Structure 1
Amino acid sequence: MPKVTYIEAGGEVHDVEVATGLSVMEGARSNGIPGIEADCGGVCACATCHVFVDPDWYAATGGPNENEHDMLDCATDPGPTSRLSCQIAMTGALDGLVVRLPATQR
């Protein structure tokens, strides 16, 4: 199973396995990772699962589509590698993915 490293804003690191086909958001929620609220449940209708993808991994995630790009405008302090974790589907190619969580979600 592919692994994802979630790094909290305070620096705490969580290395977890996320099944292929699940989203990075689902992986965080099912493993009790704090900092991803996912108010909309993963349908790209909010920005409370915002993460910063490690720059080395950003291209591999495919980048945001138009709807996700619009929702990122609602995220707290989005940056050049911001993604909504509900929109990143795990694949074997993403084994080792690193994401950082923002200090707050809105």
Structure 2
Amino acid sequence: MVKITYVEYGGTEHVVDVPAGQSVMEGARDNNVPGIEADCGGACACSTCHVYVHPDWIEKLPSAEELEEDMLEFAHEPDSTRSRLTCQIKVSEALDGLVVEVPERQI
């Protein structure tokens, strides 16, 4: 299991164990993390699983693909450096300790 910390907009932290192979979005959904709506179920067809990746982790993640970048244009207050869709981040042992911050709201 990989530990991922989801930080709500108000600062509440949820540290959860997510199995390798799942997405960061599935980890949030399966552990009832508030603020990750995941309306499309992980198909990269919306932006309701948008998060800001903690600066310490940005360089450790694979780059966003073009479809994800397109969907991020619809996210609430996207950040060109830190915004990612959690449905597009696959969990691996290398992500143990990942910290993501949930935006004020999802669109």
- Paired residue for 2:30? 30
**1:51 partner amino acid:** V
In 2, Cα distance between the equivalents of 1:103 and 1:63? 24
RMSD, aligned CA: 0.5
Does the 8 Å CA contact 1:63/1:83 hold for their aligned counterparts?
no
In 2, Cα distance between the equivalents of 1:61 and 1:51? 13
In 2, Cα distance between the equivalents of 1:4 and 1:12? 14
- Paired residue for 1:72? 72
- Paired residue for 1:84? 85
**2:106 partner amino acid:** Q
Q: TM-score, normalised by structure 2?
A: 0.97
Structure 2: gaps of 5 or more residues: none
Name the SS of the counterpart of 2:20 in structure 1: coil
How many residue pairs match? The answer is 106
Structure 1: gaps of 5 or more residues: none
- Paired residue for 1:58? 58
What displacement does 1:63 show? 2.0
- Runs of 4+ in structure 1 off by over 6 angstroms are none
Name the SS of the counterpart of 1:99 in structure 2: strand
In 1, Cα distance between the equivalents of 2:45 and 2:90? 17
- Paired residue for 1:7? 7
Name the SS of the counterpart of 1:46 in structure 2: coil
| CA offset digits 1:32-70 (Å, max 9, x no partner) | 100000010001000000000011101211121000000
